[in-house]
Amino acid sequence: MGRASLFVSLLAAANCVAAGPPAPWRGEIKKHGSVTYKCKCYSDDKCWPKGPEWASLNKTVDGVLKVAVPPGAACHKSLGQVSTYDAAKCADATAKWLDEQWLTDHPIANLWPLYTNNTCLPTTNSSEPCTQGFYGEYVIMATKKEHIKSGVDFARDHNLRLIIRNTGHDFMGRSTGYGSLIINTHSFKEATFIKKYTGPGDWTGSAATVGVGVQGRELYRQAFAQDPKVVIVGGECPTVGWAGGYIQGGGHGPLTGIYGMGADNVLSFDAITAKGEYVTANADKNPDLFWALKGGGPSTFAVLTSVTVKTFPEIPTAGTILNINSTHTNDTAVFNEAFRIFHNLSNHYTSHGMFVYFELSTGRLHIQPFVGPRMTAAQVKEVLKPLFTQLDAAKIPYDTITKEFPTFFEFYMDIFEDEQPNQNSVVGGRLFTQQDIASNGDEIAKALLFASAPTSDTMGFSVGHIVNPGHGNPVVDNAIHPTWRNASSFVITNIIMSGMESWEMKKLREDQQTNIVGKALREAGKHGATYVNEGDLNEPNWQDSYWGSNYPKLLQLRKKWDPEGVFYTQTTPGTEDWSVLDYGTKLCKKT
C-alpha cells in the first residue's frame, strides 16, 4: 500500500494484524566517506512498515494517526500522488502565515522554516510543485498518554526516526525531521493549581501541574485567574511550549532575575521513556532523570506529559521601552556608541533583578522592554539613570516611555510584542558572563555590532536577553550549564537568508555563523557559554559549551535512559555518533 492509498484508508482500517518483531537492525547500512553508518528506517527501505502495520498503529491510537501534510499544501494541486488543493484552506493559510498561534496549532508546522527545506509554501500558482521536504511522514495527534506510548513503541520497534512536536516554536529545527514519525503533544492543555505543595522536596508554597501542550501566554493567563493570583517563571514569547522544550533546555524569561530559570523551579515530571514506560521523576522517584530533565536538552531523555512547578504571588512590575534608530541618527559612530553604553551596563541592570529584551540590527536598537519586577515606574527610572546620563552626555538621541502595572501579568500583556514567524536565518549566539562584561564589555559590544553585517554579502540581526538567573537563584542542582549562574547577557545572532538558497550556500551561511560571527563572540566572551534552546548547531566543542561540567553525567544518563537512540535532537547529550546524511535527510549512526 502506498502513501497515497494510506492517506485515504487510515480512518477506515480495522482488525489489521501487525507484523512480527523487527529484525536486529531495520535500516540501511551505508558508507559515507570512510565511515560506515547504520541508518534509521525510511520509506524507500524494505524495512519500512507496511500498510497493515500503520493501520494497526492507527487503531491502537484511536484513529489519531494522520498523514503529515505541510501547512501550505492546500495551495497546491497535489502532494505527491495525493490531491491537496482547497481554495478556502489556502486562503486561510495565506492569511495566517505570519500568525504564530495558527502555526503552533498546526499538526507539523515549524515556526522557523529553514529546517523544513521551505517546502510546499502558500502560493497563488497551484501548479507549483509541493513536496514533503524535511517534514515527517506521519503524525500522531496525541490526546492521551497512551497515544504517546504507542508512538514511542512503534518508532523504537521499527527503527523509525521519532520527532516530538509540541508547538514548533523552534529556532534549531528540532521539531521536524525528514521521513519521521511525529508525536504531536500540543493538545495536553490541562493545568491544575495547588495552594500548598506537600512534596516530595522541601517546597511548601503554591504550585501548578501543567500539561505539556500549555503555551506561555496561556499559562500566564491561567495563573492570573487564580485566587490569590500567582506567577510562574516562563519565557518572553507567548506561544512557546512552556512544559516541553522550554523547560528541558532550562528556560529563561522576564522573572528569571528574581526566581531563576524555569527548570530551577520544577518540582516533578511525568514522562514516558524510550522503553515506553510511564515514569514520575522528582526528588524521591527517579532522581537522576529528574536532574537531567531540568536543562539536559529537549527530546533527549523522555517525552514529557506534565510538569509540576513552583508558583509565586503576583508582583507589581514596571518597565521602560527605548528606541534608537534612523529617526534619531544615521551616524554609525553615534549609534555604535549608544549600543556600547547600553550593553556595558548589563551587570548594573541584572544587579537589580531586571530582565532586558532587545533587538539589534544595522542602525536599529529596539529595547522592549527593560523589566523591573517588584518595581514602580519611579524605581525603574532610578535604576536606569546611569544609562540616560551617559546617553545624554554623549549627545545621543533616543525616545523612551516608562509604564507601571499592579501585576506582572498586566505588564506582560501590555508591553511585550509578538514575534514574526516564518523568517529564515542561521542561528547562533553567546552567553556573556558578569566577568566578561566587566572586563571586556567594549569588545563584546563590537562583536555584537559586527554580527549585524559580518561579511560583504550577509546581513544579520540579534535578539538579546540581559538576565542573571544567579541573582534570583544562585545555587541549584540541575543540568543547566553552571555558567548561567554568572550570566549577564545572552544574545541570539542570526544570518538572514531567503530560505531558497542552494544546499552549498546554506552550508556556507552555517560556516559563516560558526566561524566568523561565532568566533568573534567566543573571543570577546571567553568565560561564556551557549544556550541549549537558542544556539549554533555547529558550535565547536558543543558538549562543554552547552553544558559545561554537567556533560559527563548527562552522557551517562542518556546511555541509561535511551541506550538505543530512540530520541534524537542535534547537539544534545549522546548524539556524538549520529549524523543527518544525504543533504539533510537520513539520520544514521556510526558503527
Q: Tens of pLDDT along 163-189?
A: 999 999 999 999 999 999 999 999 999
- Of 254, 239, 317, 259, nearest to 465 (Cα)? 254
CB 188 within 8 A of CB 212: yes
Helix 385-393, helix 332-344: angle, nearest 10: 160
Provide the grid cell at 419: 514575534
Query: CATH number, domain at 272?
Result: 3.30.465.10
Which residues, at least 6 apart from 571, have a Cβ–Cβ distance to it below 8 Å?
172, 535, 537, 539, 542, 546
CA 52 to chain centre: 35
What would you measure as the largest C-alpha separation in the chain, in angstroms? 79
For the chain, state the CA radius of gyration: 24
Distance CA 202, CA 43 (A): 50
**Residue 24: which pLDDT band, with cuts at 50, 70 and 90?**
low
Span 334-351, average pLDDT: 98
Helix (H) or strand (E) holding 365: strand 364-373
Backbone angles phi, psi at 426, to 5 degrees: -95, 130
Question: Do residue 342 and residue 488 come from a single domain?
Answer: yes
Question: Do residue 177 and residue 43 come from a single domain?
Answer: yes
370 has pLDDT over 80: yes
CB 293 within 8 A of CB 301: yes
470 has pLDDT over 70: yes
The per-residue pLDDT for 419 is: 87
| CA dist list (Å): 492 to 297, 377, 496, 536, 571 | 18, 29, 13, 9, 17
Span 6-20, average pLDDT: 40
- Sign for the CA dihedral angle at 34, 35, 38, 40 comes to negative
Task: Name the residue range of residue 303's domain.
Answer: 191-313
The conformation of residue 182, written as its DSSP 8-state character, comes to E
- Of 298, 380, 295, 363, nearest to 571 (Cα)? 298
Total domain count, the chain: 3
Asked whether residue 584 is assigned to any structural domain, the reply reads: no
Q: Tens of pLDDT along 64-119?
A: 999 999 999 999 999 988 999 999 999 999 999 999 999 999 999 999 999 999 99
Question: Do residue 395 and residue 346 come from a single domain?
Answer: yes
Asked whether residue 86 is assigned to any structural domain, the reply reads: yes
Question: Do residue 403 and residue 376 come from a single domain?
Answer: yes
Query: CATH number, domain at 506?
Result: 3.40.462.20
Asked whether residue 206 is assigned to any structural domain, the reply reads: yes
Asked whether residue 495 is assigned to any structural domain, the reply reads: yes
Question: Do residue 37 and residue 78 come from a single domain?
Answer: yes
- By DSSP bridging, strand 181-184 and strand 138-141 are parallel
The per-residue pLDDT for 533 is: 96
CB 38 within 8 A of CB 25: yes
Which residues, at least 6 apart from 552, have a Cβ–Cβ distance to it below 8 Å?
none
Question: Do residue 378 and residue 525 come from a single domain?
Answer: yes
CA 128 to chain centre: 31
Query: CATH number, domain at 26?
Result: 3.30.43.10
Distance CA 421, CA 294 (A): 27
Question: Do residue 354 and residue 494 come from a single domain?
Answer: yes
Question: Do residue 198 and residue 179 come from a single domain?
Answer: no
Distance CA 407, CA 307 (A): 24
Question: Do residue 428 and residue 533 come from a single domain?
Answer: yes
Which amino acid belongs to residue 288? D
Asked whether residue 222 is assigned to any structural domain, the reply reads: yes
25 has pLDDT over 70: no
The domain boundary, picked from 152, 184, 216, lies at 184
The domain boundary, picked from 313, 346, 376, lies at 313
Question: Do residue 225 and residue 362 come from a single domain?
Answer: no
| CA dist list (Å): 340 to 12, 264, 354, 443 | 64, 31, 19, 9
35 has pLDDT over 70: yes
CB 478 within 8 A of CB 248: no
Three-state DSSP class for residue 124 = coil
Which residues, at least 6 apart from 492, have a Cβ–Cβ distance to it below 8 Å?
171, 427, 428, 429, 462, 463, 464, 534, 535
Distance CA 568, CA 574 (A): 9
Sheet holding 278-282, edge to edge: 191-194, 207-211, 303-310, 266-272, 278-282
- By DSSP bridging, strand 65-67 and strand 138-141 are antiparallel
* Average pLDDT score, the chain: 95
Asked whether residue 556 is assigned to any structural domain, the reply reads: no
CB 316 within 8 A of CB 405: yes
Distance CA 484, CA 532 (A): 12
Q: Tens of pLDDT along 113-164?
A: 999 999 999 999 999 999 999 999 999 999 999 999 999 999 999 999 999 9
2 has pLDDT over 60: no
Neighbours of 1 (CB within 10 A): 13
CB 38 within 8 A of CB 161: no
The per-residue pLDDT for 20 is: 42
Asked whether residue 343 is assigned to any structural domain, the reply reads: yes
Which residues, at least 6 apart from 406, have a Cβ–Cβ distance to it below 8 Å?
316
Question: Do residue 108 and residue 228 come from a single domain?
Answer: no
Asked whether residue 573 is assigned to any structural domain, the reply reads: no
The domain boundary, picked from 313, 344, 378, lies at 313
More confident site: 418 or 458: 458
Helix (H) or strand (E) holding 320: strand 317-324
Q: Tens of pLDDT along 403-414?
A: 999 999 999 999
Question: Do residue 288 and residue 335 come from a single domain?
Answer: no
The per-residue pLDDT for 259 is: 98
